Amino acid sequence: MNFKNIIRTTLNFLQLDLTKNLEYDRLTKLIMKRVINSGSNCIDIGCHKGEILDIIIKFSPNGKHYGFEPIPQLFNKLNEKYKNKATIFPYALSNENGYSTFQYVKNAPAYSGIKKRRYDIDKPEIEEIKVEMKKLDDLIPANIKIDLIKIDVEGGEFGVLVGGIQLLKKDKPTIIFECGLGASEYYGTIPANLFNFITNETGLQISLLKSFLYNRKPLELKEFEYYYNTNKEYYFIAYNQDTHSIT
């Protein structure tokens, strides 16, 4: 573990949320600890270096896990690291199959995605690469029930969800996803369309991470639009209200 990861782990343990992303990291871990067990099956979309997949495997050592990372350098490392622990795919997930250009931000890989977006760094070094796009529904075996999905794809989350609609309707997994201005609008995402797709097409409810942990009521459309448009919150959870009791 490098020094940066040691600091992050220490801050999470002490619940010192110096940044919004540190808070989301901490809340994500708490949610995963609550909703998955030793045999849960999980998907990490936008796997990056495997930070979330590490936690998934820790909480669910007996489950079947899948990771998606289209950046070749990161995919190769993940594929070696998780041999016999998870299945890693080199695809960018979307609502259609095919090929696309992909913006690889070399000095900040976490910002990489299919579309160019606003980057919160000085002088992003972008290399345009070619990636294969796949639909989630075409890759996960129908006999595997998925319990949790994490999506962090820098704005392309709506396409990922549409490409996995059959899985979402069948399994109703808990979904932790990033969404908001600065990235999602570059993919043409309209917050009302995303909200209605999740709540109407999959039957899931949407909450803020902290609200879910404190068993508060799910968001209404106007509330979701407010958070999307202001970026006051940009991580959300979609969940099956029949499974997770909310008061």
The pLDDT of residue 14: 45
| CB 221, CB 196: distance < 8 Å | yes
The pLDDT of residue 3: 44
Q: Considering the entire predicted model, what is its pTM?
A: 0.91
The pLDDT of residue 19: 81
| CB 120, CB 126: distance < 8 Å | no
The pLDDT of residue 246: 55
Where do the domains of the chain lie, and which CATH numbers do they carry?
Answer: 3-59+70-169+199-208+224-239 (3.40.50)
Q: In sequence order, which residues have a C-beta less than 8 Å from that of residue 50 and are 6 or more positions away?
A: 44, 67, 78, 81, 82
* pLDDT tens per residue across span 5-24: 444 444 444 444 558 989 99
* pLDDT tens per residue across span 130-177: 999 999 999 999 999 999 999 999 999 999 999 999 999 999 999 999
The pLDDT of residue 43: 98
For the chain, which residues score pLDDT lower than 70?
1-18, 245-247
| CB 90, CB 71: distance < 8 Å | no
The pLDDT of residue 211: 97
Question: Which ranges of the chain does DSSP label H, i.e. alpha helix?
Answer: 3-13, 20-35, 51-59, 72-81, 157-162, 165-171, 191-196, 209-213, 221-230
Which residue is it, tokens 């871990």? 29
| CB 115, CB 155: distance < 8 Å | yes
For residues 44 and 62, give the distance between their C-alpha atoms in angstroms, rounded to a whole number: 16
The pLDDT of residue 7: 44
The pLDDT of residue 189: 97
The pLDDT of residue 54: 97
DSSP secondary structure string for all residues of 1-32: --HHHHHHHHHHHTT--SSHHHHHHHHHHHHH
| Token pair of 75 as six digits | 């995919």
The pLDDT of residue 1: 52
